[in-house]
Every structure is written in structure tokens, then in C-alpha cells.
A and B are shown apart, each in its own frame.
Chain A
Amino acid sequence: MQCPSCQFENMPGLTRCGRCGGALHSAAVQIDVHPPRATARRKRLRKQFSAVPKLREQAETLSAQVGKTLIPEWVVPDVPESSILWRLLVPGWAQSYLGHRIRGRIFFWSYLACFLSGLLMIGTAWGTLLLGLAVAGHAVSVLDVVLLETDSRFERLGKGAVTIAALLGGIYVPLWWGSLFVASPLVIPRAAYPFEPGDVLLTNALFTPRVGDAVVYNVPYIRFNGQVDGRNANVVLEGWRIDRILAGPGQTLAFNGKGFTLDGVPAPHLPLNAGRYRSPFALTARSGEWIILPTTDQYATEFMLPELGRVPARNVLGRVVFQLHPLTQFGRIRSLP
């Protein structure tokens, strides 16, 4: 090996040059000998928040103790330390923390792609598949950290079961349950113009609907005997419908054959299928009722309106916020002329 100082050729295996005594192996390797430095601003910030590391350590100790208490020893004998445990909430984060950056990025980005795509296609078969893939990917990223090479088959099974249970019970089921109130998907099962079977809408049950909101509402069992398209008919209507609230309690909605009026002035909002009815009518909402015309129901005719058009507020299930699917109709719900 050649000495970098005096270029003397030394026997292999020597650590010092035989002529000048200089170090051999370390000199051959490029090593940076200048340590990283903190800027003055960073040091000031560290001093200001000097209590944070201590609090973080106390929190980590506490969470490690809680983790060991909640998870029985025989199920998961090797609970990772708390700094890794809470990072398992985000796929790929624990891997990055442990130094496997590429693997961490692969887990994270593939999870994000599946999850976001699944959310966009929620209510469809592809959406279900992609969301399932996302959850599975998350489980795999957790097991990648938790499983050890020395684990027996039983231990692997136990860890896998605990991981799935923890992810579903701790993250995804609560997320799903919470989403039911905020943005629940609704799949249209049959043709209800302007919607087609398979269309996916997002509904929200948290906020009180107002006049002008498109809503999902429930129609209780109602039987009609009358004329439908010039023929005698015995019609049973039941189930949920979608349409726009046109008038509130105490307001009168009228149709004069040409246009809608609300309390004598042109109505600011139209039902979703505004060209559905031809014959004039007028409806007044009582206290605790909304006027919602069933224009998307192909079997509802004008003679049913006094029964169907006044909807008790308790029958309104939620606001229809958005149309997700098909993507060509992606956006807010619009009325058709």
C-alpha cells in the first residue's frame, strides 16, 4: 500500500508507513474531519425550548409503559420502543427513522397513491380495491418493522393479527365511522335522472340543511291509487330519494306551468330535474317541514305531490355535497333545466 505522505510502497496489512510513520489506511479513505455546526439562531431556539426534549422523553417513557401494559407479553413479546411505535401510524415513517429511507419512501408513496385514488373512487369496485390495498400496505409497513428474523411462526401470526386489529380498530374503523357524518359515500342503485346507476355522491349528515341544498331524504311507505301516464296505477313508494329543498317552513312553492315561484316571487332554486312536471300546483310547508319535489323519481307524478312534496325535517338524512363518480360529473350537484 502506498503511503500518501512519502509515496513509499508498504507491505499490505500495515497500518503505519515503514519510512515516515504516517497512517496508511485512514489516509487512503476520504474522511471529513470537520464536524457539523449549529447556527446561532438554532442554538437560541434550542435554549428557548430546552424543556421540550425532557418532556418528549417523559412522554416516550410513559407511552412505552402504556404500550407494554395494553399489549400482552405473550402476543407481542418485543414491543418496539416508543419513538418507533408512534411512527408506525404513518406508513414508511418508521423505516425512514430507522435509516431505510428508500424503503420508507416506497411504503409512503404507494400507500398515499392507493389511499387517495381509493378515496376518489369510493363507492366503486376500484375504490374498494384501492382502499383495501392501502390498508394492507399499511399493515405490511408495520410488520416490516415489528417482525424479527428470530420470530417463530406463532409469533409472526400473533404480530400479524395484533397489527391488523390495531390498525383497523385504532385508525380505519374510527376514520370510517367519523366519515359517515362528514362525507359519507352514496351509490345510486337505479336510474334517477339526472343520476345514473353507479353514480357516487358524497353526503354530509352534520350540518343542518337549508333551502337550496340538495339532500337525501327518506320516503316512508306510501301507496297511491291513481293515474300514471293516463293509466290506472297502484304505486308503492318507499326508500330514499335525492332532490333539492325548495322551500322552508311557512313558505309556499308554486308552479304555474312555466316556472317556479316562492311566496309569489321567482324561486331562487330549482329541483334537480326541473322539467319533470307540467301541471300547475302549489304547496305550503308547515312547521317542521321542507318542500322537496321528487323530480328524480320516475314514478312520482303531480297527484302524489301533496303527500310526497312536504317532507318532515326528521326524514332528511343529509346534504348531498359532491358528486364523485363518474369523473366527468365530478363536482357540486347542479340542477338540470
Chain B
Amino acid sequence: MARFTKLEIDRNEEHHSHAETIAASRVDDTTWQKRAEESRRLGAYEGALQYYSRALESDKTQVACWVGQVQMLILLEEYPEAELWSRKALELFPAEADLFASRAQALIRQSKTRDAFGAIDQAMQQPGQSAYRWTVRGELLLAGRQPTDRHCFDKALQIDSDWLVPVEISLIHTHYGQPNNALARARLAVERDATSPYAWYIQAACQQRMGMAVPARRSAQHCLELKQDFRLAQDLLMETEQGGSLWQRLRSLWSN
């Protein structure tokens, strides 16, 4: 009879297997999120984005995954899409500081400075602390060529001791054409975790941009020792061995 189908007595076996299935599905979204973080920490943004989406298919309430999606879109240089997605996420989670911060970052990458400052102010007004909102605030000040950006970045580093934070700050400096500052942050990332191949790769990329071919080669080789199939490092190593572009060769002559 239909009205007894939901009773739990006399259905123990079914209940246990059903509970196992539920447990398995509950693990899945955590697993996807974990895989997304791993991909992110290897610089595989596209893969990380897909894993975040898979995690959200299982559980749409994972705010970190929504934030992760927006951050990956920004790192993949799809700024209008990132801004649109952050707005959508904010409709679902209207008081999430990191979502405001991600929106601010997407806006500043599109040179919409006024809206970006509005968004980051809303992020800072939310309770709690996170390194990301300080990182984005630093980026806004950096984009406006204000000298206080360093303070914001240092604050972010203070809040979170994860090596990924200085890597992302380094990427910001690279985006705004400050390879020397980018290299300093990349070195900090390597100091924080010398076993991370991605941190070594970022350092190698910054050194190459600075025209420091030999140190760049060493960093890339170290990255490959940690992870042999790290494609980005392989390409970078090949480039440094070939001498890089004409401009890079001229710069290396000048600096060496």
C-alpha cells in the first residue's frame, strides 16, 4: 500500500543500502571540490572550473564552489562572464563577502573602476575575514596606481598562510605589468611551500619575464623534478633553452 511506503520499520535493509547511496553521493561533491582545488593548485584552471561545476551539481549551497567558479573565469580571462556569474551567485547568496570580492575583481579587469570599488566596499562590510577580499582590494588600488596596494596584499598574506595567496598576488602583479613585484611574491610562495610545482613554475615565469634566463631554467627544472608531466613548465623550459623571444634575449643580455 502506498501510504506505508515511507515507513522505516521492516525496511531496514533497503534503508541501509539507500543510506549508503546517499553517503556516496554526499562524498561526491566533496570529492569534486577537492579535485577542483588540486587542479587549481596545479594551474589547471579549466579543469578546476569543471570540477567546481560538478560539485555544485551535487550541492548548490557550496559557496566556495561558486566563488571558485568566478575566480577560475577571471584567471581564464573571461571577465564579462565572471562578472555575470558573480551577480548570479550573489542573487543566491546575497551576503557573501568573497562573492562581492570576486565581482569586484571581474569589474576591475574590465576597467569598471567605480563599480568595482562599490563591490569591494560591500565585501569589506561583511563580517569575517578572508585573504581574498584583501587581495582584490589590493588589486583595485594597484589598478588605480595608488601606493597602498602593498598594505592590502600584506594583510592578505597575514590572514592566510597558504602558498596559493602569494601566487595569486603574483599573477595580479603580472597582469598589471609589474614583473619585479610579481617575482617577489612568487619567491614568497616558494618559501612557503617548496614542494609545490606550481609555485616553482610561477617563479620561473616571472624570472623569464624579467629576462633572467638561467634562474628561470633552474626554477622550471625544479618544477619538473616535483612533477614530471607539468606541461607549462616543459614549454617554459623549452623556451628558455631556445633563448626566448628577441626581446627576452636582449633583456637577458642587459640584466646578465
Contacts and interface: CB of A to CB of B under 8 A. Distances in A.
Interface residues of A, number: 26
A69 interface: no
B53 A26 contact: no
Contacts of B57: 33
A38 B19 contact: no
B53 A36 contact: no
A38 B92 contact: no
Contacts, number: 60
Interface in A1-60: 5-7, 9, 15, 19-23, 26-27, 31, 33-38, 43, 46-47, 53-54, 56-57
B73 A6 contact: no
Contacts of B22: 5-6, 19-20, 22
Q: Which of A21, A34, A47 has the most CB of B within 10 A?
A: A34
A5 B25 contact: yes
Given A26-B92, A38-B81, A33 B60 contact: yes
Given A9-B6, A33-B56, A38 B80 contact: yes
B228 interface: no
Given A6-B18, A57-B111, A22 B81 contact: no
B69 interface: yes
Contacts of B92: 26, 31
B26 interface: yes
A7 B6 contact: yes
Contacts of B84: 35-36
B218 interface: no
Interface in B34-83: 49, 53, 56-57, 59-61, 69-70, 73, 77-82
Interface of B: 6, 18-19, 22, 25-26, 49, 53, 56-57, 59-61, 69-70, 73, 77-82, 84-85, 92, 110-113
Interface of A: 5-7, 9, 15, 19-23, 26-27, 31, 33-38, 43, 46-47, 53-54, 56-57
10 contacts: A5-B22, A5-B25, A6-B19, A20-B19, A20-B22, A35-B49, A36-B85, A37-B81, A43-B78, A53-B111
